[in-house]
């Protein structure tokens, strides 16, 4: 091989390697499996050019796969179609165009749509649909009913996005709830947290969700603890679309929002237990002892002391090991630590209380 051919070969190899190190690389998200369930991470509120988004449907799949998601739903608006003069007005089309890419990427793709009405009553996502087109009807409750007749899971999007008064719970929501037509709420949407939605999920036994509501291209190469889209953790019996549907209807979720996890204590407590490993003390000196604490999850763990022993505050960075020094009255006896995990929210402004015994 002459020099020019060899240089060309090296150039081509470099191009291939650069491509492999870019869009073809998936960066995993780390949250442990709990309670015999598998933990999947997903985003069930996204838009494409088939409503008011800015990307083609397969791009949404590639973005999600690259960032470590396991499941997704494209939920284009039914009533709001700014590109309708350029694109076919079949409301199933965005899902159909994403299907092959999702299969290649081993991504669970859920068929969905956003029922878009003025607030109140608000915007609602229906997912696990068989056919989106029958939902395009003038009457709001008829659209909701038709979604439920298909076995859809229906949740209220960004409840407080226009303020508490416009996002208040009204008679129409009571009718949906009493008819069994409303199954969940977005506790978090993109950069916003809605404490009323969080409270209502607890009071009314609705499933908690967190989603991106993404419209623009997402240029992130990976989901970082400090830079990620808002997502939902779903605790499934099996990795399938049917498994996700069963888990959502059972309410087995938590929300990953900024540096917080939001959910019911019955799921956040096992998540904490599975994420944190505390080793026995490896060194003792007088009333002081040293031990290592590991955080295997993708979220920092922020703890504030609620008892008498231990540092007043502690932060366990994601995917790290921390060295902890404790001053204790009797270093040869087991130690009971009491803390509140302030960024594991089990209710608005209420962190997860924990008790830890160190042998």
Domain boundaries, the chain: 24-258, 270-358
Q: Which CATH number fits domain 270-358: 2.60.120.10, 3.40.50.720, 2.60.40.3090, 3.30.530.20?
A: 2.60.40.3090
- What is the reported pLDDT for 146? 98
Q: Each residue's pLDDT tens digit in the chain (359 positions)? A: 555 555 445 444 444 444 444 458 999 999 999 999 999 999 999 999 999 999 999 999 999 999 999 999 999 999 988 888 778 779 999 999 999 999 999 999 999 999 999 999 999 999 999 999 999 999 999 999 999 999 999 999 999 999 999 999 999 999 999 999 999 999 999 999 999 999 999 999 999 999 999 999 999 999 999 999 999 999 999 999 999 999 999 999 999 999 999 999 999 999 999 999 999 999 989 989 999 999 999 999 999 999 999 999 999 999 999 999 998 888 778 889 999 999 999 999 999 999 988 87
**Homologous superfamily of the 24-258 domain (CATH):** Metal-dependent hydrolases (3.20.20.140)
For residues 100 and 98, what is the distance between their CA atoms, to the nearest angstrom? 6
Distance CA 352, CA 140 (A): 38
What pLDDT does residue 299 have?
98
* pLDDT value of position 5: 52
Do residues 91 and 74 lie in contact, with contact meaning Cβ atoms separated by under 8 Å?
no
pTM: predicted TM-score of the whole model, two decimal places: 0.91
Q: Look at residue 82 in the predicted model and tell me its pLDDT.
A: 84
- Residue 47, token pair as written in the block: 């838009």
pLDDT of residue 6: 52
**Distance separating alpha carbons of residues 29 and 170, to the nearest angstrom:** 38
pLDDT at position 359, please?
Answer: 77
Instruction: Please say whether the beta carbons of 103 and 237 come within 8 A.
Output: no
């Amino acid at each position: 091989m002459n020099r020019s051919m060899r240089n060309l070969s090296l150039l081509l190899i470099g191009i291939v390697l650069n491509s492999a190190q870019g869009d073809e690389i998936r960066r995993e998200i780390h949250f442990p499996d709990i309670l015999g369930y598998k933990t999947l991470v997903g985003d069930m509120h996204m838009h494409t050019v088939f409503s008011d988004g800015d990307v083609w449907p397969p791009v949404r799949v590639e973005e999600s796969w690259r960032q470590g998601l396991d499941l997704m739903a494209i939920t284009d608006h039914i009533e709001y179609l700014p590109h309708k003069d350029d694109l076919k007005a079949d409301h199933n089309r965005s899902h159909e165009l994403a299907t092959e890419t999702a299969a290649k990427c081993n991504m669970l793709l859920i068929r969905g749509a956003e029922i878009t009405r003025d607030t109140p009553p608000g915007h609602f996502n229906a997912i696990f649909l068989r056919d989106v087109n029958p939902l395009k009807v003038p009457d709001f409750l008829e659209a909701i009913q038709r979604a439920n007749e298909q076995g859809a899971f229906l949740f209220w999007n960004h409840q407080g996005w226009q303020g508490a008064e416009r996002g208040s719970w009204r008679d129409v929501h009571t009718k949906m709830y009493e008819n069994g037509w409303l199954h969940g709420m977005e506790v978090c949407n993109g950069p916003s947290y809605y404490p009323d939605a969080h409270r209502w999920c607890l009071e009314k036994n609705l499933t908690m969700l967190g989603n991106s509501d993404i419209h623009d291209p997402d240029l992130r190469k990976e989901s970082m603890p400090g830079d990620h889209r808002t997502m939902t953790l779903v605790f499934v019996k099996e990795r399938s679309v049917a498994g996700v549907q069963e888990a959502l209807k059972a309410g087995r979720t938590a929300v990953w929002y900024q540096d917080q996890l939001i959910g019911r204590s019955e799921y956040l407590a096992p998540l904490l237990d599975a994420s944190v490993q505390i080793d026995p003390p490896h060194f003792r000196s007088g009333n002081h002892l040293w031990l290592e604490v590991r955080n295997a999850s993708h979220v920092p763990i922020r703890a504030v002391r609620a008892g008498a022993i231990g540092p007043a505050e502690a932060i366990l960075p994601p995917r790290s090991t921390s060295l902890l020094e404790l001053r204790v009255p009797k270093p040869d006896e087991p130690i009971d630590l009491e803390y509140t995990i302030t960024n594991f929210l089990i209710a608005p402004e209420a962190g997860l209380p924990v008790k830890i015994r160190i042998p």
